[in-house]
Amino acid sequence: MSPAPTASAAPDEASAASDDSRPGRARRDAEATKAAIIRACRYLLARHAHTDITLKDVAERAGVSAPLILKYFGNKDALFSQVMNFEADVETLLDAPLEDLGRHMVRHLLTGQSERGTDPILRIVFAPLHGEQGDILRANFRAQVSDRLAERLRGPDSGLRAELAVSLLLGLGVMYGIARGPHVRSAPVEDVVERYGPAVQEQLTPGTLAG
Q: Is the pTM of this model over 0.85?
A: no
Determine which of 15-19, 65-69, 96-100, 177-181 has the lowest per-residue pLDDT on average: 15-19
At 190-203, the pLDDT tens digits run 999 999 999 999 99
Strand, coil or helix: 145: helix
Domains of the chain: 19-83 (1.10.357.10), 87-204 (1.10.357.10)
At 157-201, the pLDDT tens digits run 999 999 999 999 999 999 998 899 999 999 999 999 999 999 999
Residue 69 has pLDDT above 50, yes or no: yes
CA-to-CA distance for 80 and 59, rounded, in angstroms? 13
pLDDT score at 7: 39
Kind plus residue range of the DSSP H or E element containing 196: helix 189-204
Tally of CA atoms within 13 A in the half-sphere of 147 that contains its CB: 9
CA-to-CA distance for 37 and 183, rounded, in angstroms? 31
Return the DSSP state at 52: G
Asked if residue 85 lies in contact with residue 140, where contact means CB atoms within 8 angstroms, the answer is yes
At 75-93, the pLDDT tens digits run 888 888 888 888 888 999 9
Between 207 and 145, where is the model more confident?
145
